[in-house]
Amino acid sequence: MNITLRAGEKLYINGAVIRVDRKATIELLNEVTFLLENHVLQADQATTPLRQIYFAVQVMLMDPGATAAATGLSRRLIDAAQHAFENPAIIAGLKTIADQIARSRNFEALKTLRGLFPLEEQEMYPDAAPAKSHAA
Work out the angle at residue 65's Cα, subtended by the Cα atoms of residues 64 and 67, and round it to the nearest 5 degrees: 65
Contact 61, 40 (CB under 8 A): no
84 and 71 share one domain? yes
User: Of residues 119 and 132, which shows the higher confidence score?
Assistant: 119
24 and 85 share one domain? no
Contact 135, 38 (CB under 8 A): yes
Please state the domain count of the chain. 2
Residue type at 72 in one-letter notation: G
33 and 45 share one domain? no
Confidence of residue 134 (pLDDT cuts 50, 70, 90): low
52 and 113 share one domain? yes
The pLDDT tens digits for 54-94 are 999 999 988 888 889 999 999 999 999 999 999 999 999 99
47 and 34 share one domain? no
34 and 58 share one domain? no
Four-residue CA torsion sign, 113, 117, 120, 124? positive
- Residue 118 structural domain: 41-124
45 and 22 share one domain? no
